[in-house]
Amino acid sequence: MAADSPPDFRLRLRRDSNAVIAWLSDMWTRRWFRWLGYLALAGILFLALIWVVFARDLPSVDQLRDYEPPLPTMVRDAEGKPVHSYARERRVQLEYSEYPQLLVRSFLAAEDKTFFSHGGIDYPGIASAIITNLTNSGRPIGASTITQQVAKNLLLTNELSYRRKVREAILAMRIEDALTKEQILELYLNEIPLGRRAFGVQAASRAYFDKDVDQLQLHEMAFLAILPKAPEKYGRARFEGEAIARRNFVLGSMQDNGWISTAQRDAARAMPLGLTNTGNTAIAQVGGYYMEEVRRQLIAQFGETADKGPHSVYAGGLWVRTPYDGKMQQGATMALRKGLQRYDAGKGWSGPIARIEADDQWQSRLASSFIGIDYDNWRVAAVLSKSGGAARIGFANGDTGTLPASAATMGYRKTGGSAFSAMRPGDLIVVKSNGSSYALRNIPEVSGGMVVESPHSGRIYAMQGGFDVRLSPFNRATQAERQPGSTIKPFVYAAALDNGMTPATMIVDGPFCVYQGASLGNKCFRNFGGGGGSGEHTMRWGLEQSRNLMTVRTASQVGMEPVVETIQTMGIGKHEPYLSTALGAGTTTVEKITNAYAMLANHGRALKPRVIDYAQDRRGKVIFPVNWKPCEGCNKKDWDGRPMPRFARSGKQLMDPITAYQVVHMLEGVVQRGTAVRLRDLGVPLFGKTGTTTGPNDVWFVGGTPDVIAGMYIGFDQPRSMGGYAQGGSYAAPIFKDFALAALADRQPIPFSAPKGVRMVRIDRQSGRRVYGSWPGTDPKASIIWEAFKPESEPRRTIREEEIKPIKTPRRATGGASQKGSTGRTDSDFLDDRGGII
């Protein structure tokens, strides 16, 4: 038996294998079995075809778990309030729990009643849609569930085809496996397009009702729920009836599902739509040159669109904190505009601001020009036609009106005649309504820029780069390189102070010429107005009166190398070492020169002007500046008994702090009795300097208080003479005055503080000699003043009788030089005011 076992074993295996093949062969002879085989093969081929045609290149649903929608950048002001957004679409992302349940049910009633019970596909709905499409030759209808809409909106395209519907269904089933129902609804409610450039329910709630979702009433929720079917239709006035009917259907569906009562349904149906056209008033959208500068810097840092990185301006969802101060911005804007109009008054119409074709497409041409104005109810209009004594004008919203010739009588400055006669169809002009018709208004041809900055941190509170950014986007506050004129002189004298001179140093105000070689001969300087000089005066007097001859003489004595080095160190610009540079022949911007003055007030410490405090990503992490650190302990709920956190002085010391204070102290005299004397009646501690360039082409003023520094210029974009009467004191200084009255009037006045080591000495303002036995009075023109000196540089005691004897000064109604007993003030009183000088 043992010898026969192996053959039996082999025969048994061979018999079993042959049995399977034999069985299959036997079954294949039967027709029904062959048909089953063919059907199985067809099914396999069909599934393979589905994969190749529909599912082979479908995107992965895994990306939805960490999906980050494109979100706009939101800008906050100095107090943290949203004031602007950079957006091409309205988008706000909320969590599912932040949506009211009644609002969620409104969308379920309108779009997908069985959402919480199906697996991503509504099979009865699909069958009904197929039957309808086969019997209807119109636009195909679908039966998309909310899950399918998420698949289409986030992973697919809007292609109208059955292929897309199949792909959509496949993705919907995958999404249902990957995400919870609540996660799917959150994606849907945040991303669904709802018209008025709004994506997501919160954005639409603001666009249509100017409310947040938690403030919506039932009838408003139902209206938003109808929008996915026709987002650009139901929000239009001419489709109001259809919108109400569709809204009421949704309300009825909610009642049928037991989500609201019959009384709630009837009350909501009785309500009007109540749509608003004001947009989102929760964000001020202040715009202007300031926000355009913020946008420019953000784009340079992070890029403009999503393809430039995850933190792009128009998709990254940044939160940007700025130093923007609305009150100061309004004050700066109105002050600069008033100054431009003050100069331009009486000069006639400057002409159209632009031109378009006055054809049947004029409205779209005007709207696409993006030219506008935000001032005193002025509007930009296009001249459409002229006939008789009136012109027909049109506006970007399609409205038209009439401009009578009698309302456009101002002279046309370029050719003479009236402005009305110079107008042509297609001209873009500025008008203001006067009831039944419109009157012509003029945009000043002259322009300018203004910056308002903190001398403690370099934060820019306000910025105005022209009359209106929509008329001219060129920012003259940061981009216009202009000659600073006499506003450069404080830095010339700062170089002199660092090289052995003092504010009491006597300098000759007299003819000064420089030999330039045989071919050029002598270059002779002169004072403004052509004056030849007035003798010897103190450095202070020369700065207060802005004497050119004293400035170039000082620069020549010190040497131009230290002067241009000081100018460059203070960030004004890199200038050539020519004597004319000491009179402002180089170029700089308003932002740079204003920051330099701010550094003077900051005791010579470096400041970096900025319009961005910090930027956060969509999750709140600070990503700019890179080395940003929070203030630990600054936001404690309760006081812990320890000293208040105080910021240490930051910034590199660019100038000797005593030198900086000496310059500021002399510049206070410019306001008290110099070229900016018209600012004296503001009654607060001020320093500053006017400037007038050759021509004069530009007029300047830069200065301010210990807390706020402002700089501005006005001039033509293509530099030309403004007229011999134009001076910084007569046109630029009043701009600062208007700004201060509007924006700084409620601030507590404080004096400029002096750094450690300054020696305050009583001197005679005219001679610079030290005075004993008398004290300065309240009269700005008093002969005795306090002067700031560096240690060991003040005038020495003398045995000469004329220098020991107290100087007698005439009494003045406002109080002149006085004895100690008559005023009650002592040296110590003055020193206390200056911050405790030692």
Q: Stretch 525-530: mean pLDDT, rounded? A: 76
Q: Would you state the pLDDT for residue 410?
A: 93
Cβ-based neighbours of 102, under 8 Å, separated by 6 or more: 218, 221, 259, 260
Helix ranges (H only) for 347-401 are 362-369
Q: Stretch 786-801: mean pLDDT, rounded? A: 81
- On average, the pLDDT of the chain sits at 86
Residue 73 tokens, joined: 């950048």
Are the CB atoms for 751 and 783 separated by under 8 Å?
no
SS3 category, 482: strand
- 428 or 807, which is more confident? 428
Q: Stretch 127-131: mean pLDDT, rounded? A: 67
Alpha-carbon span 290 to 313, nearest angstrom: 16
Specify the DSSP element, H or E, that contains 600: helix 590-601
Q: Would you state the pLDDT for residue 773?
A: 83
For residue range 298-327, list pLDDT tens digits in order. Answer: 999 999 998 888 999 999 999 999 999 999
Specify the DSSP element, H or E, that contains 802: helix 801-804
Whether 586 shows a pLDDT value over 50: the answer reads yes
Alpha carbon 531 to its chain centroid, in Å, reads: 45
> Computed over its alpha carbons, how large is the radius of gyration of the chain?
39
Alpha-carbon span 815 to 475, nearest angstrom: 46
Q: Cα separations (Å) of 513 from 160, 271, 508, 523?
A: 83, 85, 13, 5
pLDDT above 70 coverage of the chain, percent: 84
For residue range 349-384, list pLDDT tens digits in order. Answer: 999 999 999 999 999 999 999 899 999 999 999 999
Task: Give the best-scoring range by mean pLDDT among 51-55, 144-148, 552-556.
Answer: 552-556
> Kind of pairing, strands 506-509 and 354-355?
unpaired
Q: Would you state the pLDDT for residue 737?
A: 97
Q: Would you state the pLDDT for residue 13?
A: 46
Torsion of CA 119, 124, 130, 135, to 10 degrees: -160
- 454 or 779, which is more confident? 454
pLDDT above 90 coverage of the chain, percent: 60
Residue 790 tokens, joined: 């560096």
Q: Stretch 540-559: mean pLDDT, rounded? A: 94
Alpha-carbon span 259 to 265, nearest angstrom: 10
DSSP 156: S
Helix ranges (H only) for 460-538 are 489-497
Whether 466 shows a pLDDT value over 60: the answer reads yes
Alpha-carbon span 477 to 711, nearest angstrom: 9
Q: Stretch 642-668: mean pLDDT, rounded? A: 89
> Kind of pairing, strands 319-321 and 73-76?
parallel
Task: Flag the least confident range among 156-165, 624-633, 821-830.
Answer: 821-830
Q: Would you state the pLDDT for residue 236?
A: 87
Whether 835 shows a pLDDT value over 60: the answer reads no
Residue 724 tokens, joined: 């011999």
Q: Would you state the pLDDT for residue 11?
A: 46
Q: Cα separations (Å) of 195 from 199, 226, 232, 233?
A: 8, 11, 5, 8
For residue range 20-36, list pLDDT tens digits in order. Answer: 777 777 777 777 777 88
Whether 137 shows a pLDDT value over 50: the answer reads yes
Alpha-carbon span 105 to 131, nearest angstrom: 28
Alpha carbon 764 to its chain centroid, in Å, reads: 49
CA nearest 357: which of 368, 344, 349? 368
Q: How confident is the model at residue 17 (pLDDT cuts 50, 70, 90)?
A: low
For residue range 682-695, list pLDDT tens digits in order. Answer: 999 999 999 999 88
Q: Tell me how far apart the 2 most distant CA atoms of the chain are, in Å.
A: 153
CA nearest 108: which of 221, 245, 216? 221
CA nearest 220: which of 196, 202, 197? 202
Give the catalytic positions in this structure.
Answer: 111, 486
Cβ-based neighbours of 822, under 8 Å, separated by 6 or more: none
Angle at 796 between CA 790 and CA 797, to 5 degrees: 145
Q: Stretch 646-665: mean pLDDT, rounded? A: 91
Task: Flag the least confident range among 58-67, 518-527, 634-643, 645-654.
Answer: 58-67
Whether 804 shows a pLDDT value over 50: the answer reads no
Q: Stretch 105-119: mean pLDDT, rounded? A: 89
Are the CB atoms for 508 and 548 separated by under 8 Å?
no
Whether 829 shows a pLDDT value over 80: the answer reads no
Helix ranges (H only) for 193-275 are 201-209, 218-226, 240-256, 262-269
DSSP 773: S
Q: How confident is the model at residue 817 (pLDDT cuts 50, 70, 90)?
A: very low
- My answer on whether omega of the bond before 484 falls inside 30° of 0, hence cis, is no
Alpha-carbon span 21 to 159, nearest angstrom: 51
Q: How confident is the model at residue 813 (pLDDT cuts 50, 70, 90)?
A: very low
